Copies of this chain bind each other. A is one copy, B any other.
Amino acid sequence: MFENFFSQRIKNTPSSFIREILKVTQKPEIISFAGGLPNPISFPQEELKISMNRIADKYGDKIYQYSTTLGLDSLRQYIVDRYKKIWNMQISIDNVIITTGSQQALDLIGKVFINENDKVMVEKPSYLGLLQSFCLYSADFVQTKLNDDGLDIEELKKTLKTHKPKLAYLIPNFQNPTGLTYSVQNRKEVFEVIKDEDMILVQDDPYGELRFEEGDRIPYIGLNQTEKNIYLGSFSKIVTPGMRLGYIIANKEIIHMLETAKQASDLHSNIFGQYLISDYLYNNDLDKHIEKIKKLYKTQANAMVGAMEKYFPKNIKYTIPKGGMFSWVTLEEGKSSVDLFNKAIKKNVAFVPGDPFYVNEHNVNTLRLNYTNADSETIEEGIKRLSEALKEI
């Protein structure tokens, strides 16, 4: 009825594959590895309840009133202090804008940088929320293959030479969907290749704090070496996603443009949530809280990897996560994970087929498994069911 009214961009935007899948997987009998939800253990509920009462008493009507587009100063200062401490970044709150979750960060970056048909380089596979978001700005995606240790350097060189992308979007830590992390060496090589290019590099990092295997944090690509880097962060995986609070760290000139874009998008992010998270962060030990999350995710990841080792045929490959929330499974060449999904759902187990993480590829042989929302026994049972489904394709 309204077909003639809708914009070209919205008609071109795939409605979420995952949303459709989640509808199927909500039956209680289904073991679902499809979602990307953090475990509720990551929400410090008791502490947040103390904080909400404290901010209500302390700030009165300020927590309910309109506020500034850039975000609450104290929260921006916390981010500055944390990135200075961890990464020795020389930034001030003028380099930080609070966003309505990282998803809005993607939307704002699309608004500020992408003209129709601008080339954007993403990993292959990439985060589907980014693909959907930039699709609304009619970006022309080019994908560069992701290997076990990071971007494929030869393919990266070729992509840059052929397409000259204006912007690259990478998730270097515990990537969604693959769970992979770029090695120190790979990051250095990537930076060597891109450093003289006329290209903005966006590094999205929602999972970086969740390294549960031994090893140090690995510095961002080109950390402290270029003004063309944009860093995204989020409180969704370490405090609460329900408040929709993330942030962008960038050069001030970029922040100024993002501020204009954000003002037109939602004026500002909910200020109650900003006071709440800020109060929580200043009155509690975030790192101690994160340890608790990591301990659980390690157990869950081990359960999944252990079960895959036990039940999967030897020709099925999967990534072994060192952090984050996902493992990525590769079936035999020529098999389709959508076919597997249809068999699996009949055995009451679900996952996300790889298709929506690629640009213009269908019936791929890869799939994403999430392990953060089930206990070890359930995970083992789910993988067992999945291995039964594997026999039928």
Residues of chain A touching chain B, judged by Cβ–Cβ distance below 8 Å, are 1-2, 4-10, 13, 15-16, 19, 36-38, 40, 43, 45, 48-49, 52-53, 56, 60-61, 63-67, 69, 100-101, 103-104, 106-107, 111-116, 118, 129, 132-133, 135-137, 166-167, 198, 200, 227, 236, 240-244, 251, 253-254, 256-257, 259-261, 263-273
**A253 contact set on B, CB distance < 8 A:** 1-2
Residue picked from A43, A48, A270, A271, most chain B C-beta under 10 Å: A270
Find out whether the CB atom of A264 lies under 8 angstroms from the CB atom of B37.
no
Interchain CA distance A372-B374 in the complex, whole Å: 51
> Known contacts being A264-B135, A267-B244, is A61 close to B49, with CB within 8 Å?
no
Contact B264 A265 (CB under 8 A): no
Q: How far is the CA of A61 from the CA of B257 in the complex (A)?
A: 36
Interface contact B65-A56, CB-CB below 8 Å: no
On whether the beta carbons of B267 and A270 are closer than 8 Å, the reply is no
Number of copies: 2
Query: B242 contacts A63, CB within 8 Å?
Result: yes
How many Å lie between the Cα of A61 and that of B240 in the bound state? 9
Q: When A6-B112, A19-B69, A166-B5 are in contact, do A107 and B64 touch as well, CB less than 8 Å?
A: no
A129→B49 contact, CB < 8 A: no
- Most B-side CB within 10 Å, residue of A61, A227, A236: A61
Docked CA distance A53–B50 (Å):
10
Nearest 7 interchain pairs by C-beta: A40-B61, A64-B240, A43-B64, A242-B271, A64-B242, A100-B266, A133-B264
